[in-house]
Structure 1
Amino acid sequence: MRVFSSSGTGTRRRGGPGPATASPDPPAPRSRAERRRLARRVRRRRAGRAPRRIAGALAGSVLLTLLVKTFAVQAFVIPSASMEPTLRIGDRVLVDTFSPWTGDAPARGDVVVFTDPGGWGPRTAPGERSGFPGKGWLTALGLVPADDGRTLVKRVVAVGGDTVEGDTSGRILVGGEPVDPPQGAPERPAGAHRPFRVTVPAGRLFVLGDNRGNSADSRVHLDDGHGGTIPQDSVVGTALAVAWPTAHWRSL
């Protein structure tokens, strides 16, 4: 059966094939010179990206290092013999400075670095401070160990609510239990000692040097109005390890 088209100009069978479409001509092959020019352009683009990628990677590494040093770990120099034999003069200790930001409180036995609450450190005239331009910024970033006399290091022996006692022989008791200095620490010097009894206020710490006979610690500041304790907020961080010199590497 034949079916007339709507134009009436011809006939076609229903469902028959439509008009044929011409396929595009394949691209002409590139000459060898064109292929070389294209390869050179690709190499130039890649070469231009490499310095940017390297610079970005270096910048990211430096930023990450600064963040870690500033907010996680910082180096401090031990200025005195008050913590011998645990820490010696000139030791560089790595300090966890991140925990105070999270609200973690120091515990009994921790070695802590804290800012001078007033009258604890040596009095140094501005002209006597050693250093160089920009050292303060480098110290704040953790790239130079802090040695400005405003940061001190001691061991926490009592926390808020504890009762600390000292007898005439130089013994220290916390809650009635003796707190002995670390093994190898110098013996207590002979002679009379000032007896005391202090209840540590909440939010404060009672700290001692491991070198009990040569440490200007909480015992020296008993009359400062807080029983020789320091504010917990003054703690910069907890000492983790001795990093330098290599002969004295140790964890704390």
Structure 2
Amino acid sequence: MTETPTATKEKPAHRSGLAAATREFVLIVVGALIVSSILRAFVGQMFIIPSESMQNTLLVGDRVVVEKLTDVERGDVVVFEDPGGWLGQEESGQKRGSVGRFFEVVGLLPDSSHGHLIKRLIGMPGDKVACCDAKGRLMVNGKPLDETSYLYPGDAPSAMDFQVTVPAGHVFVMGDHRSESGDSRVHLSDTGPNGGSPGDAAFVPLDKVTGRAILVVWPANRFDKLEIPDTFKDVPAAAAPPPDKPSISLTPPPK
């Protein structure tokens, strides 16, 4: 007696195709997240402007692209981590929940700026920054700045007098809306987060600088490049190597 071979059941073709398509989709999504995370960590990311301190260059709610590949220069608009005690509630940004934070980390949502600030870089290591000259202008290495292209209308370059030399490994920053900016000037009498001498907290460590803002990308009607104002091109180099400790005087420079 001959037995009839048992037929082998085959998987429906559509199920096999669906599984393959699902696996491919998952791999694409995972790969995209990995690439996005790498780009965010090493190339650039987007930030939301949380305060009025950079008006009218940047408005509250603007989305800016920050690139991390090139070194920062005088005149750049820079994003940096709080050096210690700078942030008030109005500038700290709204921290997202765990899901929102995940999408921030992988670069699919702009950073909510929690724990970060954005200002204009005025002084590099070794620079002498002073305000103000006989015409009320901010000076860097003795060169007066023409700040009319970015300073908030009606604001003075500074309501307080000062003369500083920026220490090694640090920068001096100021907001474009000077009367609403808690910047380096405001902290010239503060000690750093780990103690130290008065004024240590006024200068931002370069290793806390995230990068330079290069584009306003949202809202669409605000799309614009952020470039270094021409006035910074005429600033001479620092006359001497940067000191280890800052030099600070809350008096006006000689007129």
**TM-score with structure 2 length normalisation?**
0.68
- Give the aligned partner of residue 137 of structure 1: 102
Who is 2:44 aligned against? 73
Number of the residue aligned with 2:214: 240
- Opposite residue 94 of structure 1, the aligned amino acid is V
Instruction: List alignment gaps of at least 5 residues for structure 2.
Output: 1-9, 191-198, 227-255
- Out of 47, 51, 61, which is 1:90 matched to? 61
Taking a change above 3 Å as real, the CA distance of residues 170 and 150 of structure 1, as seen in their structure-2 partners, is farther
Q: Which residue of 1 aligns with 2:182?
A: 216
Offset of 1:205 from its aligned partner?
A: 0.3
Q: CA 1:149/1:59 → structure 2, altered by over 3 Å: closer, same or farther?
A: closer
| Match for residue 157 of structure 1 among 113, 116, 122 | 122
Larger displacement relative to structure 2 (130-139 or 106-115) = 130-139
Residue in 2 aligned with 1:228? 202
Residue matched to 2:27: 56
Over 3 Å counting, the alpha-carbon distance change for 1:170 and 1:51 in structure 2 is same
How large is the RMSD of aligned CA atoms in angstroms?
Answer: 3.2
- Structure 1 stretches of 5 or more lacking a match? 1-39
CA contact under 8 A between 1:109 and 1:156: conserved in structure 2?
yes
C-alpha distance 190-173 of structure 1, shift in aligned 2 (>3 A): closer
- How many correspondences in the alignment? 205
TM-score, normalised to structure 1, is: 0.69
Are the aligned partners of 1:182 and 1:210 in contact in 2 as well (CA < 8 Å)?
A: no
What are the equivalent positions in structure 2 for 1:1-252 lying under 5 Å apart? 47=17, 51-97=22-68, 99=69, 104-123=70-89, 131-147=96-112, 149-167=114-132, 171-181=137-147, 183=149, 185-189=151-155, 193-224=159-190, 225-226=199-200, 228-252=202-226
CA displacement 1:143-164 (0-9 Å, x = unmatched): 3323354100001111001100
In 2, are the aligned partners of 1:78 and 1:90 still within 8 Å (CA)? yes
Q: Taking structure 1 as reference, are residues 171 and 119 closer, same or farther at Cα in structure 2, changes over 3 Å only?
A: farther
Q: Structure 2 CA distance, aligned partners of 1:94 and 1:57?
A: 25
**1:142, distance to aligned residue in structure 2 (A):** 2.7
Query: In structure 2, how many angstroms separate the alpha carbons of the residues matched to 1:191 and 1:60?
Result: 48
